């Protein structure tokens, strides 16, 4: 079924380059494609959500696939891109399991990464001319 | 805001997710605002409702 017409346009950039930009910098894919309002909003909201999660004692999970949920959480954490590596460099994300906000912090960090993956797919669709 | 308040953390989480979803799902700023507000209300409303439904259950 043909998709409805709208702001659809022909592919303007290499979709895989757009994906890489969108993953590395939250909102980067949209900025790359000239969708400045979306890009700037994502650039503010997603890193802020990630940082808030770390601030309330959330943890950056290790890639430990012997416990599947820990491994999957690590993949989700990595979804935020550059802020993940900055947090690692700064020594953040150790988590404090006895803090009352620990689980909330984990949820913030994981969901920020997953939302950035969603933003990456949206940018990919735009670059492919599907949106 | 008290950073250990469950309701406060729920409100902040709902705001972040609603903004991100609204921006990704809608193109026009007015539509984003309406959709984001609906999402936020649904997040908070359903969490409060579930909280009350679970209230009689023993811990």
ipTM above 0.90, yes or no: no
Q: What is the pLDDT of residue A4?
A: 46
Q: Do A115 and B20 touch (CB under 8 A)?
A: yes
Cβ count near A63 (within 10 Å): 11
Torsion from C-alpha of A46, B49, A73, A93, nearest 10 degrees = 60
In angstroms, what separates the C-alpha of B4 from chain A's closest C-alpha?
Answer: 6
Q: How many CB pairs under 8 A join A and B?
A: 46
Compare all CA atoms of chain A with the CA of B21 and give the residue at the minimum distance. A115
CA–CA separation, B51 vs B36, rounded Å? Answer: 22
Average pLDDT for B11-25: 96
In angstroms, what separates the C-alpha of A16 from chain B's closest C-alpha?
Answer: 19
Q: Do A101 and B20 touch (CB under 8 A)?
A: no
Q: Do B9 and A100 touch (CB under 8 A)?
A: no
State phi, psi for B58 to the nearest 5 degrees.
-70, 150
Provide the 8-state DSSP code for B26.
-
- Would you write out chain A's pLDDT as a tens digit for each of its 131 residues? 444 444 555 556 888 999 999 999 999 999 999 999 999 999 999 999 999 999 999 999 999 999 999 999 999 999 999 999 999 999 998 988 999 999 999 999 999 999 999 999 999 999 998 88
């Amino acid at each position: 079924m043909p998709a409805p017409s709208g702001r659809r346009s022909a592919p303007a950039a290499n979709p895989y380059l757009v994906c890489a930009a969108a993953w590395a910098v939250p909102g980067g894919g949209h900025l790359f494609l000239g969708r400045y309002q979306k890009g700037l909003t994502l650039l503010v909201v997603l890193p802020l959500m990630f940082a808030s999660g770390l601030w309330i004692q959330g943890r950056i999970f290790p890639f430990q696939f012997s416990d599947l949920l820990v491994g999957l959480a690590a993949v989700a954490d990595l979804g935020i891109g550059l802020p993940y590596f900055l947090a690692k460099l700064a020594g953040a994300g150790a988590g404090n399991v006895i803090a009352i906000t620990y689980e909330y912090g984990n949820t913030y960090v994981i969901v920020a990464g997953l939302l950035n993956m969603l933003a990456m797919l949206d940018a990919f669709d735009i670059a492919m001319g599907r949106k | 805001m008290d950073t250990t308040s469950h309701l406060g953390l729920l409100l902040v989480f709902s705001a972040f997710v609603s903004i991100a979803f609204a921006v990704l799902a809608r193109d026009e700023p007015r539509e984003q605002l309406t959709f984001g507000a609906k999402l936020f209300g649904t997040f908070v409303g359903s969490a409060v409702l579930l909280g009350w439904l679970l209230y009689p259950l023993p811990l």
